[in-house]
Amino acid sequence: MIRKGVRRPVVAGVSPFLDRRPVVGWAASEAVRRGLPLRLVHVCQDLRWFGLSRVDRLSGREECYGLRAQGEAVLREVAAAVRLTHPDLEVSATLATGEPAAVLAAESRGAELVVVGTHDQGRFADLVLGSVAREVILRSAAPVVTVPQLDRPARVGEGPVVVGVDGTEVSQAALEFGLEEASRTGVQLYAVHCWLTPPDRADRPLIRDEERRVLAEALAGVGEHHPDVRVVPVLSGADPAEELLCRSRVASLVAVGSRGRRPLAAAVLGSVSRDVVRHSCCPIAVVCPGPPTPRIPKARTAEGVR
């Protein structure tokens, strides 16, 4: 875990299954932009010995040792690649044993940001997202950025930051995150507020005026606190997830809010954030305000993998 007095790092989950370059590359660049260290975390899952014969247990231990050796080799390779492209960046690497989402959630308590990968938009996207990225989002005490598996690198600084705004505390946290990111990368920010178009045309002007007021209130004071960021308010009658996904095609980052770590977290994530994370064409930041996450059992870690 992160010791007191140490700068909170950007934590990157190094997957044994997905292409590691998009996640690690984005995390390293973000750590440089924030002036923070980068912490690489690779997880070897626990092997269960119960019910196995002595021969099976010995074979299982050999397999476990092999996985740990492979994990250490992966971390050394990734850390060396990061130091080559970012020689001034402070990089550390940790090999942990446990359940990946639980380990990364535990790491999040001392992190500034957690970065994980998601599968592409293929047939197994739900399974992969549900197994790690979705659980990390729900448990994390820090903002989580999911980086999709794309044929091209993430467009950092080459597109606007897009934030989903609905006037709630949750979306305000996402807006603040997006503003800081837009300020660091020197791009403009699109604040997108969606509303459902009523079937009765007579009601549409009144409802649109009300939704415009909600958006204006959400953006009040933004110019004073972030004068360097050009904020473009967007009022849309489209489905929120569809609107954000459409804009992700040209964005460098999309930020959304989530009520994670609360009783209805799964339902909230399942509505908009889940769809955006699953199908986005750019990195997605899921930001959750609120109290720290409940205590999670500590994972066994091996520090100092170089």
Q: What is the pLDDT of residues 236-285, one digit of tens each?
A: 988 899 999 999 999 999 999 876 444 334 434 446 888 888 889 999 99
Residue found by looking up tokens 């299982």 in the block:
60
The segment with the largest mean pLDDT, out of 67-71, 152-156, 162-166, 202-206, is: 162-166
pLDDT of residue 61: 52
Q: Is 161-287 in the same CATH topology as 10-153? A: yes
Regarding the domain with residue range 10-153, which homologous superfamily does it belong to in the CATH classification?
HUPs (3.40.50.620)
pLDDT tens for residues 105-114?
Answer: 999 999 999 9
Q: 55 pLDDT exceeds 60?
A: no
pTM above 0.85, yes or no: no
Hey, is 203 helix, strand or coil?
helix
Tell me which amino acid residue 218 is.
A
Other C-beta atoms within 10 Å of 44: how many? 23
Residue found by looking up tokens 């007191």 in the block:
4
Hey, is 274 helix, strand or coil?
helix
Closest CA to 182 of 233, 249, 224, 229: 229
Classified by CATH at the fold level, domain 161-287 comes out as Rossmann fold (3.40.50)
Q: 233 pLDDT exceeds 60?
A: yes
**146 and 274 Cβ atoms separated by less than 8 Å:** no
**244 and 279 Cβ atoms separated by less than 8 Å:** no
Tell me which amino acid residue 156 is.
V
* Mean local confidence (pLDDT), 55-81: 73
pLDDT of residue 270: 46
Local confidence band at 219 (pLDDT 50, 70, 90 cut-offs): very high
CA distances from 293 to 20, 43, 110, 166, 227 (A): 27, 20, 12, 24, 33
Other C-beta atoms within 10 Å of 179: how many? 22
Distance CA 180, CA 290 (A): 19
Which 8-state DSSP code applies to residue 112?
S
% the chain with pLDDT above 90: 50
Beta bridge partners of 236: 194
| Domain positions in the chain | 10-153, 161-287
